[in-house]
Amino acid sequence: MLSLLYVSIFAVLDLLYFWAFYNILVLAVGLRHLLREGKKRTIVPVFERACTQLPTISIIVPVKDEERVVGRLLKSLLELNYPMSKREFIIVEDGSTDKTSEICGKYAELYPDQIRLVHQTVSNGKPSALNFALGHVKGEVICVLDADNVVERDMLLEAAKYFEDGSITAVQGKCCSINAKESMLAKFISYEEAVRYETYLRGKDVLSLFVPLTGSCYFVRRSVLIEVGGWGVECLSEDLDLAARLTEKNHAVKYASDVRSWQENPSTLKQMFRQRTRWFRGSMEVSLKYGRLLRNLNMRSVDAEMTLSGPFMFLPCMLGFITGVFSLVFPFSHNQGLNFMAQGLAILNTLTLFLIGIALVYLAKPVKVTNLRWLPFVYVYWLAQNFVAFYAFAQMVCRRPRKWTKTTKSGVTTIE
């Protein structure tokens, strides 16, 4: 019985070693590319082309009960530096009970040549609203934003340059935090997101791996979007589902750090719990749904399945970490090999933390070594994510109703 326990622990540790080494490689490549780019960074003139050569871009924004933020978004859209004849904004009102519809209606009346407001009669979540809007767009490229976004003026110009390459079918831009100073949690999540985009997604892009769509500030060619069937209505993570279908059809997503918008991060534990529960359950379900990606064995499809199954790894990761710490204090007296593997895993966790620390220092502008003070919170936050992932997994196993819940936005802006 004891030998069976050791074999089981060894199997889990082997899995975690592979998982740790793999993600450390991606983070390291992304960080190296980020540091190299920073050293050679110069002021580059904004991408410019003749108006007739620019692609037409349709921006879709699903909205429901977003009176606190939707006006801010619409104002920023109207200030975009892109020919009016080459852009359109489709606002999908999805059964709001506040003043969202009224606010959007006023903007649509004032700017009828730019803003179109459409109403979906039956509210069934963001994926359904996006599919509804797809029947109203005219653009060659579709952009998806959330109601709390505030876009940078040159976002569309920067995105357009990527679509000069006919092989690029989708682009994921960089989402920055607009409310990082609202609370300590919002600040920490803003750092987490910065590291995620600028090291993890960047590393995947450099290695030509699976770059997931993150739900906002992403662009897809309309022809390709129609080819793959739009968005999955039954999905809690319609962005990951779409990215998986693009991969299945041999389409790649490009990460573009210069295509930027700003959006809110959760500022309370309740907001974070609700958001991450939906994210984790959605990712788990997409992982199981698209296990067939492994039939076509290549680096991108394998990486896609590994990325999508990430939330499943939280529990064994926590068990591996506990085993590593335990073996340092109370070594396994009858199995030195197990001690070595468990302690080695703890070292890998420390290496991961070190890479995150470098990224935190570098991503602050100006560069601040004091950002290292956030590192102790990384593990606390990681433990909290373990709990959320376990809760999401329990919901899925118990077949709890799948309900698309939006994250409540406050409208707070703390950037200068």
State the pLDDT at residue 1: 47
State the SS3 of the chain.
CHHHHHHHHHHHHHHHHHHHHHHHHHHHHHHHHHHHHHHCCCCCCCCCCCHHHCCCEEEEEEECCCCCCHHHHHHHHHCCCCCHHHEEEEEEECCCCCCHHHHHHHHHHHCCCCEEEEECCCCCCHHHHHHHHHCCCCCCEEEECCCCCEECCCHHHHHHHHCCCCCCCEEEEEEEECCCCCCHHHHHHHHHHHHHHHHHHHHHHHCCCCCCCCCCCEEEEHHHHHHCCCCCCCCCCHHHHHHHHHHHCCCCEEEEEEEEEEECCCCCHHHHHHHHHHHHHHHHHHHHHCHHHHHCCCHHHHHHHHHHCHHHHHHHHHHHHHHHHHHHHCCCCCCHHHHHHHHHHHHHHHHHHHHHHHHHHHHCCCCCHHHHHHHHHHHHHHHHHHHHHHHHHHHHHCCCCCCCCCCCCCCCCCCC
Q: What are phi and psi of 201, to 5 degrees?
A: -70, -35
Would you state the pLDDT for residue 10? 63
What is the residue extent of each domain of the chain? 2-37+301-397, 53-269
Under the banding of pLDDT at 50, 70 and 90, the label for residue 12 is low
Helix 299-308 crosses helix 269-289 at what angle (to 10 degrees)? 140
pLDDT at 66: 92
- Residue 214 · residue 192 · CB < 8 Å: no
pLDDT-derived band at 43, boundaries 50, 70, 90? very low
* Stronger pLDDT, 360 or 391, i.e. the higher one: 391
pLDDT tens string 195-228: 889 889 999 999 999 999 999 999 999 999 999 9
Bridge partners (DSSP) listed for residue 256 = 173
pLDDT in tens, 173-189: 999 999 988 888 888 88
Banded pLDDT at 330 (limits 50, 70, 90):
low
pLDDT band at 255 (very low <50, low <70, confident <90, very high): very high
Residue 213 is predicted with a pLDDT of 96
For 115-125, the pLDDT digits (tens) are 999 988 777 78
Lookup: tokens for 61:
């924004």
Architecture of the domain whose range is 53-269: Alpha-Beta Complex (3.90)
For 255, what's the count of Cα atoms within 13 Å in the CB-facing half-sphere? Answer: 24
Angle subtended by helix axes 375-397 and 314-329, to nearest 10: 130
Contacts of 269 (CB under 8 A, 6+ apart): 185
The reported pLDDT for the residue numbered 171 is 97
Share the mean pLDDT of the chain: 84
Q: How far is CA 55 from CA 89, 122, 141, 277, 379, in A?
A: 15, 32, 7, 37, 45
pLDDT tens, residue by residue, 265-324 = 998 988 999 899 999 999 999 999 998 888 888 899 999 998 998 888 877 766 666 666
pLDDT, residue 368, reads: 64
pLDDT at 403: 75
Residues 129-158: tens digit of each pLDDT: 999 999 889 999 999 999 999 999 999 999
- Give the residue among 124, 120, 118, 152 at the shortest CA–CA distance from 136: 118
Reported confidence tier of residue 163, pLDDT bands at 50, 70, 90? very high
Rounded CA-CA distance 61/72 in Å is: 13
